[in-house]
Amino acid sequence: MVLEGQSKTDLQHVPKETTTFEVDSRNWIVYSQLLLTMFLWGLAWPVGRLLATDLPPVSIAALRYAIVVPVLFGILKIKGQPIRLERKWIANLVIMGLFSTTLYQIFFLYGVRYAAASDDSLVIGIGPVLIAIMASFVLNERLTKIKVLGFISGLAGIGVISLLSPNTAVLNRPLGISLVFGGAVAYAIYTVTLRRFVGANRADNTSPAPSSLAILAWISLFGWILLIPLSLSEAPWTYSWSPVSWLGIVYLALLSTVVGYFFYVEGVSKIGAGRAAIFGNLVPVFGVITSVLLLHENLSPWHAVSFLLILAGVVLVNKQKKMGQTGQR
C-alpha cells in the first residue's frame, strides 16, 4: 500500500526508463502486473479490517512478518544475492524497520479497526505529499508554494472524508483516520531515511551497496523483532484464530507484500519509476471498491471529492519536483 506494504523500497539497481514506442507496445504484461499489484495493495485494506476487528492488531502484523521475513531471505539465497550486514548499516536499518514495518503496521491495523477500510484507503494516499514535504526539510529539497498548496489540498481531502463519510457505524472514525494518517507519516519518515541511506552508500566506495531486496529483508526483520514483544503483551494465544484468519494473514504476507514487491520492482525496471509510480494512484480506488464489495461499506460522492483533493496534492508536489529537475539540467 503507498502504499500498504513496503514494496517501494530502494530501486537504485534498475535501468533507466524506456522511451521507445516499440518497447512500450511489448509491455502490456508489465502494465497488467502493475495493475494487479495495485489491486492486491487495495484489497489489503478490507482484509486488514476483517482481521483487526476481532483479533489483536499487533499480533496480526507479527504473524504476517513471521512469514514475510524467511521468504525474503530465502529468495535472497536462491537469487545468490549477498545477505551480509555491515555494522555501519545497522542503525539506519533498525530505524527504517521501526517506521516502515513496526509503526506503519500498528497504525494501519488499528486504523482499520476503528474506521472504515474505504475511508482509510483514501487517507493513505497522502503519503507522496508528506514525503515531498519532509524531503524539503531533511534532504534540503526546495519547499515551494506549489508543494505547500499540494499539502493543503491533501489535508483537505482527509478532512472531507473524516467529516462527511457515510460510514458512521464504526468504533471511532476520527481516531481511525488519525491513526492511518500517522501511518502515512511513519512511511514518509522511512522513505526519506531510505533516500539518505541509499545516497550515503552510493557515495561510499569502500564496499558494495546492499540490493533493494536485501534492504527490504533486513528492515522487515528488524521491524518484526520490534513487533514481537508488543504482540506478546496482547496475549494472542487467548484469541480464536480461524482458518479464514490465517488465510487473510497469508494473503497480506505473500500476495500483498512479497508478490506486490516483485511485480512493482519489475515494473520499475521495465517502464521506469515515474510511470510505475502513476499506478499507485489506483490503490485508494481499489481499496474503496473492494471495501464496498466485501464489507458492504457505504459509498458516497464525498469519497470521490476526497480522492480528487488528495490526488491533486500528489500531482502538485510531483509537478514541482519535475520542474525542479528540469531547472537543474
Among candidate residues 291, 271, 292, 288, the one with its CA nearest the CA of residue 33? 271
pLDDT confidence bin for 169, thresholds 50/70/90: very high
pLDDT for 124 = 94
pTM score, whole prediction: 0.88
Has residue 177 got a pLDDT over 80?
A: yes
The per-residue pLDDT for 4 is 57
- pLDDT of 258 reads 96
Q: What would the grid cell of residue 23 be?
A: 518497447
What is the tens place of the pLDDT at every residue in 188-217? Answer: 999 999 999 988 887 777 677 888 999 999
Q: How many CB atoms lie within 10 A of CB 199?
A: 12
**Which pLDDT band holds residue 166 (cuts at 50, 70, 90)?**
very high
- Give pLDDT, residue 26: 62
Least Cα distance to 270 among 3, 1, 11 occurs for 11
pLDDT tens string 85-124:
999 999 999 999 999 999 999 999 999 999 999 999 999 9
pLDDT tens track for 40-83: 999 999 999 999 999 999 999 999 999 999 999 999 999 999 89
CB 209 within 8 A of CB 202: yes
